[in-house]
Chains A and B, each alone.
Chain A
């Protein structure tokens, strides 16, 4: 029953007002600030698009952009793929309830709810070149040349990616598993009559039917990974040099450590535009999900 009544505004207005106040207005302020040369909130000179132009000639901008894109692509790809493989492996013989499912799911959701900042510092202790867990195990296994996790740019990126993947794979796994378990049995029963090859069933039935779920999970993860800051902040503080300095980290340093707020605002808006372009493409799909 959806009639037009004026009480409907009572329900929706508080939320919308809050969002307006705390999101739109700040965004507009940031936009305005990005056109100025500013030191901590005092816009000093209107400099048109100079901040944006500066970004494109700033080697640091390109560096952090590349690093962030690396994390987005690498982390999300691995997370979804590993989650998918795990979900497939576990779902097939055990299509219905298994005994320990509650406990299993509880342990598996713990990584999600760990503060990323804490995880970063823990990662520091695990990947530590001398006394970290990983190198200890490698040393015990007989490796002589232990990876220098925080001295090499790519190893540092890999370490951070590993922590991020560790944290989010359980999420992808659970979501995909839920998706698989919601697929109707009849299709599989019919398919078994035609072929008993697991690979065929995956390729022609499971994978296509999982399309929406994989899509949802991939966008959600991509969007969140673009903002990654906590883990590089704590684990490597930007890594050897700037090897692991991500985009949001760079905005933070520019705006709130160097107090170059005009430039930081421009950087933030560039990121916003990138995210907007990505989400515009995906929103069309999302509309279908949300009716």
Chain B
């Protein structure tokens, strides 16, 4: 389709569609933002969409959340940060190494592509199939309600992303660079560390961001394996179900608090997101 004029019907349709799509994507966040600034009474009685016109915005909910009951949310955020970072570090380190190994070496006994598919199959695994053993395992080792337990769990479930993304990227790196390093006397590991890895830095960033985000948003294992000290933000969000009913205002504040870190991180690597999320199957 070669359209000459900038204002042709085609272009207008495109812009309308884009605007509708953006509104649709953004509306829930908008709703969360205005709900977080509405006084609780108004939320339950006068549903309204436009701030200042239909209701008076107030900081009451935010103060309530962070000042009066600050302990709960700040410790949850801290837990989430620790858990997600820990899981990311483990998953990315193991993933980088496994990805490089699968990309560069030939395995005889278990073929490369079999191992690759096996890592991929971890995503196909229903988490609930391993939930009970995980619970019993953590209980046996007195690891219930610890951050380590969740770090290990999340590392397990996000490792496939790291492995497959890195494998894909390493495969595309020209081998000559590493080969010349080997000729110069570097060991395999050094050529990996000093040459291949720096070149694949964006991919490492994407893997890290994806692992972090998915660990941050993980709920069910966090619910199962913690009950007080190590609760991440996702479980605290679920705490809005109060005896008096769902507390809408806290839903909004907690959702907004919870979405900030992944959202910011994703902004930094959004160029590679498509590639990362399809495990390299689609080049974006």
Contacts and interface: CB of A to CB of B under 8 A. Distances in A.
Partners in one complex: yes
Contacts of B107: 8, 12
Contacts of A23: 122, 125, 130, 156
User: Which 5 pairs show the lowest CB-CB distances between chains A and B?
Assistant: A11-B101, A15-B98, A26-B133, A178-B284, A8-B105
Contact of B152 (A1, A14, A22, A130): A22
Nearest to A265: B132
A269 B100 CA distance: 33
- Find the residue from B32, B48, B115, B270 having the highest chain A CB count within 10 A: B270
Contacts of B219: 115-117, 229-230, 233
Contacts of B43: 131
B44 A198 contact: no
Contacts of A213: 282
Interface string A107-144: 11111111111110111111000111101110000000
Contacts of A192: 2
A190 interface: no
Contacts of B11: 93-94
A255 B132 contact: yes
Interface in B19-41: 21-22, 24-29, 31-32, 35
B132 A230 contact: no
A41 interface: yes
B10 A109 contact: no
Interface in A25-62: 25-27, 29-30, 33, 41
Nearest to A179: B282
A273 to B, nearest CB: 10
B117 A118 contact: no
A181 B100 CA distance: 29
Interface of B: 1-3, 8, 10-11, 13-14, 17-18, 21-22, 24-29, 31-32, 35, 43-49, 90, 93-95, 97-98, 100-102, 104-108, 112-113, 115-137, 139, 152-153, 155-156, 159, 163, 175, 178-179, 187-189, 192, 213, 216-217, 219-220, 224, 233-234, 237-238, 240, 246, 248, 251-252, 254-255, 258-259, 262-263, 266-267, 270-271, 273-275, 277-278, 281-284
A227 interface: yes
B98 A11 contact: yes
Contacts of B17: 86, 89-90
B125 A108 contact: no
B24 A248 contact: no
Contact of A290 (B28, B113, B153, B175): B113
A27 B259 CA distance: 32
A216 to B, nearest CB: 5
Contacts of B263: 110, 113
Nearest to A29: B133
B21 A22 contact: no
Contacts of B121: 279
A272 to B, nearest CB: 5
Interface residues of A, number: 106
Nearest to B134: A26
9 contacts: A18-B90, A41-B139, A92-B14, A93-B10, A110-B266, A114-B255, A117-B238, A136-B49, A283-B117
Given A136-B48, A268-B128, A89 B14 contact: yes
Given A108-B25, A125-B31, A175-B278, A271 B128 contact: yes
B255 A118 contact: yes
- Find the residue from B11, B133, B263 having the highest chain A CB count within 10 A: B133
Given A106-B266, A178-B282, A248-B126, 19 more contacts: A10-B97, A10-B189, A12-B102, A15-B119, A25-B133, A29-B132, A30-B130, A93-B8, A105-B271, A107-B26, A113-B266, A117-B217, A118-B254, A121-B237, A125-B35, A125-B246, A175-B282, A216-B281, A291-B112
Given A213-B282, A286-B120, A226 B126 contact: yes
A19 B283 contact: no
A149 interface: no
Nearest to B97: A11
Nearest to A220: B278
B98 A16 contact: yes
B270 A109 contact: yes
Given A131-B47, A268-B129, A170 B31 contact: no
B191 to A, nearest CB: 11
A220 B125 CA distance: 12
